[in-house]
C-alpha cells in the first residue's frame, strides 16, 4: 500500500515561515529515502508522514502503522552489539543492503 501526501503545509510555532509549503508526494511500498540539504524539512516531512506532527493543512492517507527513528548519532541503539556480532543470513544481508561496513558499529 502506498502513502499519499497531498498539499502538506507545516510551520513550527516559533517560525515565521513554514518549513513545508504545498508538498505532495506518493511513497511506494518499501524503503524510501529523503535526501536534501540540512534544514530543508526532511525530518519534519517524515514526522508528518508518520503522524508524529499534524500538518497545518493537507492530508496524509491512508493512516499506516509507522515508526519514526530519531536522528541521534550520539547514542548507540540498544541492540547495536547484537546486530554487529550476528552472522545469521538475515543480519549479514541487512548489513550488506545497508552498506554497513564491519568496523562501523565500533566507531
Contact present, 58 and 9 (Cβ < 8 Å) = yes
Q: Tell which wins on pLDDT, 77 or 2.
A: 2
pLDDT over 90 at 58, yes or no: yes
Contact present, 66 and 51 (Cβ < 8 Å) = yes
Cell of 61: 492517507
Q: How confident is the model at residue 6 (pLDDT cuts 50, 70, 90)?
A: very high
DSSP 104: G
At residue 40, the 3 state secondary structure works out as coil
Q: What's the chain's average pLDDT?
A: 86
| Furthest-apart CA atoms within the chain: distance in Å | 51
Tell me how many domains the chain contains: 2
User: Do 52 and 84 share a domain, yes or no?
Assistant: no
Contact present, 42 and 66 (Cβ < 8 Å) = no
User: Do 88 and 48 share a domain, yes or no?
Assistant: no
pLDDT over 80 at 53, yes or no: yes
pTM assigned to the model = 0.64
Give the Cα separation of 83 and 60 in Å (integer): 33
Best mean pLDDT range from 8-22, 56-70, 89-103? 8-22
In this prediction, residues 56-73 reach a mean pLDDT of: 80
User: Do 51 and 24 share a domain, yes or no?
Assistant: yes
Amino acid at each position: 500500500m502506498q502513502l499519499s501526501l497531498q498539499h502538506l503545509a507545516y510551520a513550527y510555532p516559533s517560525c515565521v515561515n513554514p518549513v513545508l509549503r504545498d508538498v505532495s508526494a506518493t511513497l511506494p511500498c518499501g524503503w524510501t529515502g529523503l535526501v536534501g540539504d540540512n534544514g530543508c524539512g526532511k525530518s519534519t516531512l517524515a514526522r508528518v508522514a508518520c503522524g508524529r506532527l499534524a500538518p497545518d493543512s493537507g492530508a496524509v492517507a491512508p493512516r499506516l502503522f509507522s515508526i519514526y527513528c530519531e536522528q541521534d548519532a550520539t547514542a548507540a541503539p540498544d541492540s547495536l552489539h547484537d546486530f554487529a556480532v550476528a552472522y545469521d543470513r538475515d543480519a549479514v544481508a541487512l548489513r550488506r543492503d545497508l552498506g554497513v561496513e564491519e568496523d562501523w558499529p565500533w566507531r
